[in-house]
Structure formats: C-alpha cells, structure tokens
A and B are shown apart, each in its own frame.
Chain A
C-alpha cells in the first residue's frame, strides 16, 4: 500500500528536513528528562543503523560494536581536549577513528564468518574498553571528561529556542545536536543502501558464491561494509561521550554491544527506519522497568538489574514472535 511512500529522493529529503524541524520544535514543550532521553534515542538510532548496515544488509555479524563506539568516543574526547577543535569536528574525528578501526577489523572479518566472526568481535568488546586502564592518557577507570561547554549564544537566543518558553538547558542543546545528526545519518545510509553498493551488500548477504560469480569481490565488499558500519558506530560513540560528558570504560560494556544487537533485532535487522523504534524501546526499558519494580515494591537492587533481564527477554521474545522485527515502512 505504501510502496511508493516517500519514494522520490527530493520528497524524502524534504520529509526528513520537516521531521527534523518538528522534532526540534517539540523540544520546547517537553521536560528536560524527555529531552535528554530524546538525545539518547538519537545516539542509539545511529548505533543501530551501524548494525543494520552491517548485519541486515551485508550479512556480517558483530557483537563488538560497543568497542568501536569506545574507539570513536575516546578519539573524539582526546582530539577535543588535546587539539581544542570544535566539537562538531571532534564528532567527525570519532567517526573517522571508527572507520579506521572497522577497516582493520574488516580484513579479519573477510576471512571469518558465522560464529567465528561473532567470537572475534566479542573478544574485541571485552578487550578494547579495558585498554583504558593500561594507558594513562586514556584516564583509567575514571575516564576522560568531554565537556563541550555552555550552550552558544546564537542557539539560546534564537527564536526556535524561545518556543515553548522553558530554559535552554545543556541537555536541550545535546538534543538539538544529536537529532539532526541521527536524521542525516538515516538519510545518507538510506541513499547508500539504495545505490550500487547496497545491491552488492545484499547480493553478498544472500549468496556469496553467486555474488562472486557476477564479479563482486566478496572480501573487499566485507571490508567496505565493516568500514562504513564502524564509522557510524564511532560517530555514535562520540555522541554518547558528548551527552554523558565522559569517555570511560564502563560506558562501553559488553552489555552495550548486546543492547545494540537487541535494538537492531527488535527493529527488524534489515530495517533502517525500524531502528528508531528499537532506539526508543532501549531508552524506555530502564525507566519502565524501574516504575514496574517500584510499583511491585522491589528493592533498589531489583530496579538496578531488571533492565538487563527485560532486554534479554525482549531479544528472545522478538526472535520467537517477531522474527522479522517490529517493521515500520518498507524493508528490503
């Protein structure tokens, strides 16, 4: 029915711009917690897009994207603190660092598949964050602060900032930064995947032998897939460090890597738009489980551990009940 829905590229760009404008406008009318959660959703959207691109389209599995996010976060933080570059550039540094890490990882990945690839990337998720404890420049367990400073005057004085009337807080500023980045990411990835590269990815995913018979260099395409996906993960890591104000090993735990996979599976792993729902659910889980725990009269320890249980249950239930994920719009 909605096969042709926002099919024209120009119309799609317009739709994205309008959506972005509306989302920014909404930030004036909701409280600060929701604004912060909105920024978290935006970060997860980018992170889940990186999994969707890799797993959903090119058929590679990664359980180590939390580690790539850590690399992006530390690269952004170190470049911002050390070189005093603008924060936007620091976020780009995070994406580039992620891409480089992904490029290197891609060469290993090109020789591996299935459980071997999962194992290798899993090892990365375990090992990389603990590097922070080995090198003093990475700030140890305590991590490095990533403080982009106060909200710039032009933003807080703009008419858009006055909509709704509330204070222009740091968290609202984070929302203003992350939401357009997330939308731009989806738009760019959508365009890449609907082009020749996307078709090569899908050919490789469906039948690697057939793909190589029609002239697709399978290992090289795997490297490309890992590079693109990891640049998004690096960007998401840098954005996460920015909204937390911190790059620390405990931000990029194994749980984060699994959470991302859950988010991607939940949204239908080959569905780019579904990632938005996946991201919303991931952000909502801790809050909803906390209120459930409170109403049931559970202790603080139950509240602390419930989100992990809910996330795992959701992963299992999604695979059982909705093997194609929670689909929104069109998927391929």
Chain B
C-alpha cells in the first residue's frame, strides 16, 4: 500500500510539473526576440482570425465560410500576397455558443496574436466578445451577422459590419409583401435573440401585420416537437404567407415539418438571407425540396448559380482550384467576397500596416471597393454601415434563385435601419478586378 502511495505521489508530481512546464513553454511568444512591430504582422505574414460554428446545430453551411475565405487568401498569396506579405487565417470553432466564442476569441487575440478578426459569425457571439475586442482595440472586419446595433461606432468602435441589417431586411421584406401579397395573412418564425428582435423592429417599421409571431430558442430547431409547434401555429393562424427568419438548419426544419404536415403548395414561404442557402437546406432536409420550389428568398449577393455574373464566375474558378471544388453556394460566395474585401482593406492600409491604419483605410476608402453585392457599401468617417439593400429571388426545385421581378433582372431595394423609406435603387457595382486580384 505504501509503495502504491508513493508511486501515485510521484506520478502526480510529474503530472503537475509537466503541466506547469508545458504552460510556461507555450507562453513565450514566438516573436519575443524580434523588434517590436504591430501584433500579428511580420515582414512576410499577416495573421487574421475567425470564429464560426464548425460543429453543432448551426454548423451546416456556415462551416464552409472560413474555408472559402482561406481559399481566396491562398489564391492571393499565390499571386504575391498583400504588399509582399502572405495572409494566414486562423479558424476556430465556437459551435454557435457565445461562451465558446469568448474563449476562442481569447485564444485568437492572446495566444495566436492575430492582427484582426474577419467574418466572425453570429449576433450573440460577436456581442459576447465585444468588450474584450474593444479593450484590445482589435479590428473586427466584415462580421457575419446583420444585427443593426453593430453599426453603433460608440459601442463597437473597431467593428465593421458588412451585411445589410436584419432591420433593413425585414423592412424591405415588409414592403415587398405589402406590394405583392396585399391582404394576405402573414406569419413569422424568428430566432429569439437580438437577431430576431432586429427583424421584429424592421417589420414594425414597415407596418407589417403579423397574424402569428413564433419565437424559438437558438438550437431548439433540432427538436421535432418544437418544429411541430411552429407548423400547428401557422396552420392555426390560417397564414397565407410564412416568413422564416433563422439559420439554415432552422429553415430546413421548418420546410421539412411543413411538408410532413401536407402544406406543400398551400403557403408562400419567404426566407430571410441568413437561412436561405438551398444547398444547405437540401442537404439537411431532403423532404423540404418540394417546399423550396417556389419559395422567395431575400439576398444581397448575386445568385451563386448565375455564372454570367463576373464575380460568381471568377470565384467559381478560385473555388475549383483552391477550395477542393466545394459545392459553390451562398456560403462559399460569402466567404470569398469577405476575403476579397479584407484584401482590399489590407492593401489600402499600406506597407506600414497597423490596426489603426487598417480601420482608417476602411472608413476613408471602403465605399469604393469591389464587392459582389449589388448594394453599395456605406462606410465613411462617421458610418460603419456596410451594405444596405436586397433583391428577391424565387427558388426552383434545384435551388437556383432567379430574380422575382424585372423580367429576370436583379431589382435592388435599399433602406436604412431606422424609419427611412424603402426605395428601388439602381445597381452601381464596381467591376471585378482583373483575375479577382484587387489592385486598389
């Protein structure tokens, strides 16, 4: 017994010593002995970081975004990089959980020592990390959420939202419904956090009457009884039009549930931009396909199937070569488009890259950069609002989206996150730079 005890004690001390040594060892920064420069920037590299759900209920679809972005960076790196530096992207999984996003962001900023965050995903997740990001003055670029609050430069001084806000999207959707489905009963399913609250704000601004408002807790879409309740509520309210304002897995669950309840062809579905990626929905719920056919979806980027679009065509080429030819969908398009904006921002910040020079460059020049979206970019010295417009497409059974109105042409609606009017706007998009390589 004594022998056993002393052995166990020896093992335990060894365990403690190894743990302590390993921690101390990894705490010495890699560039401890090089001259002081901006965090995450060396003579030959720029380190960026992203948090996204790679696992968990919200992962399907969105888990493609960082790899598409990385593929675009690899393409740029292979063509000389940015001012002679290669871009490295550190990808961290947060499972769409705010607390995991917090620890992943800790790691990105304190351990990986990234220069900036780019495309971090989720409203609640970005909120959870805000204080820490602000304290360290880390630029947070082109975040993957449309919560209108992120454009508040006092509260989020280093954050540059890109997507049109959910408030804008809901307001534009409300106007579209009033014009095209007058007198119809409208029901809304929405994620019950700031994402959904922002949408409610937009529908209120548009004056949309909702016969049923169905909130759901994020991740509860994987529970069939929850989804069953959505559908019975919609049926009970005798809705003609159902709006889905959630992530792709929630849209798939709703459409699959509606099909099971025999609602195919009986209700007009309108899908928010967050959760309307057809390839993701089809993969998650094959039974949803009959309902996908004819559904209307709001988008700010061109249809990924539209190969006549110069951005789509170029990104598809890069995708084939640098992204293992992944199925080219909205998620890939978002990832590459975000990557292209990030490259333009880094180029504009100049050779002496600092966090401050990066943010100044976006404010000063961001509005003129090339991007795939039909909406203009509204960055300025006083505004962190990115895109501000949507077009509506009708999905086919194969998932391709074609513009609903304008005889096959994209029709753009723009507005603001407040009480401003929704207007049809001309599309004035900068041309795709040659070979998709920014020359700003």
Contact = CB atoms under 8 A, between A and B. Distances in A.
Interface stretch (A74-82, A87-95, A193-201, A245-253): A245-253
Interface in B108-157: 110-111, 123-124, 127-128, 131-132, 135
A155 interface: no
B197 to A, nearest CB: 10
B106 A141 contact: no
Interface string A42-68: 000000000000000000000000000
A142 B124 CA distance: 6
Contact of A245 (B15, B19, B102): B102
B220 interface: yes
Interface residues of A, number: 44
A288 interface: yes
A287 B98 contact: no
A193 B23 CA distance: 32
A280 B20 contact: yes
**Which of B12, B20, B93 neighbours the largest number of chain A CB atoms within 10 Å of its CB?**
B12
Contact of B91 (A142, A147, A300, A325): A300
B8 interface: yes
Contacts of B27: 30-31, 33-34
A281 B124 CA distance: 29
Contacts of A145: 127-128
Contacts of A287: 23, 26, 111
Interface in A266-311: 274, 277, 280-281, 284, 286-288, 290-291, 300-301, 303-305
A300 B102 contact: no
A300 B52 CA distance: 11
Given A147-B131, A169-B135, A304-B93, A32 B11 contact: no
A244 B99 contact: yes
B55 A305 contact: yes
A123 interface: no
A126 B79 CA distance: 52
**A interface majority secondary structure:** helix
B26 A291 contact: yes
A248 B99 CA distance: 7
A51 B177 CA distance: 57
B209 to A, nearest CB: 23
Contact of A143 (B13, B100, B124): B124
B29 A31 contact: yes
Contacts of B23: 34, 37, 284, 287
Nearest to A32: B110
A221 interface: no
Nearest to A136: B192
Contacts of A133: 192, 217, 220
Nearest to A240: B99
Given A31-B29, A250-B99, A251-B99, A288 B16 contact: no
B102 A246 contact: yes
Contact of A326 (B12, B91, B98): B12
B409 interface: no
A291 to B, nearest CB: 6
A187 B13 CA distance: 22
A37 B111 CA distance: 12
Contacts of A141: 124, 192-193, 217-219
A305 B127 CA distance: 24
B407 interface: no
**Which of A133, A142, A250 neighbours the largest number of chain B CB atoms within 10 Å of its CB?**
A142
A147 B135 CA distance: 13
Given A327-B9, A327-B12, A250 B22 contact: no
B194 interface: yes
Interface of A: 30-34, 36-37, 133, 140-143, 145, 147, 169-170, 244-246, 248, 250-251, 274, 277, 280-281, 284, 286-288, 290-291, 300-301, 303-305, 321-322, 324-328
Interface of B: 5, 8-9, 11-13, 15-16, 19-20, 22-23, 26-27, 29, 54-55, 91-93, 95, 97-100, 102-103, 106-107, 110-111, 123-124, 127-128, 131-132, 135, 192-194, 217-220
14 contacts: A140-B217, A142-B123, A147-B131, A245-B102, A245-B128, A250-B97, A287-B111, A288-B22, A300-B54, A300-B93, A301-B93, A304-B54, A325-B12, A328-B16
Lowest 10 A-B CB distances belong to which pairs? A326-B12, A33-B110, A133-B217, A304-B93, A142-B124, A142-B193, A250-B97, A141-B218, A251-B99, A322-B8
Given A170-B131, A244-B128, A300-B91, 11 more contacts: A31-B110, A37-B23, A140-B217, A143-B99, A145-B127, A147-B131, A245-B131, A248-B124, A250-B100, A304-B95, A325-B12
